[in-house]
Amino acid sequence: MKKALFGLILVAIISCKQETKPKLTAQEIVDKSIEVSGGKLYKEKGTSFMFRERKYISALSNGGKVLKRITYLDSVTITDVKTNAGLTHYFNDTIVELPDSIAFKYANSVNSVHYFARLPYGLNDKAVNKEFLGEEVIKGESFYKLKVSFQQEGGGKDFDDTYLYWFDKQTFKPRYLAYDYHTDGGGQRFREAYNERYVGDIRFVDYNNFKPKDKSSNLMDIGKLFEEGKLDLLSKIELTDIAVE
């Protein structure tokens, strides 16, 4: 009888081990997220959208990425074009030379808007370091939590910023993100994705953009602060007139 009972217990233990899914790595989570959000289309298709009365365009040219921001001011059109070679600033059709400090600021601004609009695609850039932090519950749902940092080489001007991402465990889509920054006095932001839609089979979302009430809070605790209502809503990040070509 004892031997039979032991055998049943042993079989149950083995069955449980077989049913347990292996832990996913940060890289696997990001790969799955990119695949369900647009996959190879991020490399093959150009996109455009309006954000805060400016038009943003991403395209491929000679194997490189070209990012544009177009500002319409009555009879004047101001266009900023960012490539691997730097930023070119146009006043109508005339190139205007900018001081390096201003050119860096504009390039960073253009890149930032495109980066958030195309997430999670940018999480596989060469300069990105990804770390799996485990699981965290937000609003009663469990998410995979990842930390993202950047290497100095290729990581851009703000390479020392830290990002957190929360991926839906069922769909692998990023539902929340947070980051710290060190420019303009520094701070932290938390973004809640909403209004998900697919245009040309590429996923786009809008965001509720929050900041902590307490400036000394730890970035790693920001998900809990969101749960506890300790974040202030700063703005909404909304994209309109989205097109995929």
ω into 212 cis (within 30 of 0):
no
What distance in Å separates the CA atoms of residue 152 and residue 159, rounded to the nearest whole number? 6
Residue 211 has pLDDT above 70, yes or no: yes
- Residue 179 tokens, joined: 């980051």
- What pLDDT does 171 receive? 97
Q: Tell me the CATH number for domain 125-238.
A: 2.50.20.10
Q: Which two tokens stand for residue 174?
A: 């990023």
Q: Residues 116-139: what's their mean pLDDT?
A: 96
- Compute the distance between CA of residue 207 and CA of residue 196 in angstroms, rounded to an integer: 10
Identify the pLDDT of residue 11: 46
The DSSP code sequence of 124-182 is GSTTEEEEEEEEEEETTEEEEEEEEEE-STTS-TTTT--EEEEEETTT--EEEEEEEE-
Nearest by Cα to 142 from 49, 32, 210, 223: 223
The amino acid occupying position 99 is P
pLDDT per residue as tens digits for the range 46-99: 999 999 999 999 998 877 889 999 999 988 999 999 998 899 999 999 999 999
Residue ranges of domains in the chain: 39-118, 125-238
Q: Can you give the pTM of this predicted structure?
A: 0.85
When the pLDDT of each residue in the chain is averaged and rounded to a whole number, the result is 89
Q: For 144-187, what is each residue's pLDDT tens digit?
A: 999 999 886 654 555 578 999 999 999 999 999 999 988 777 89
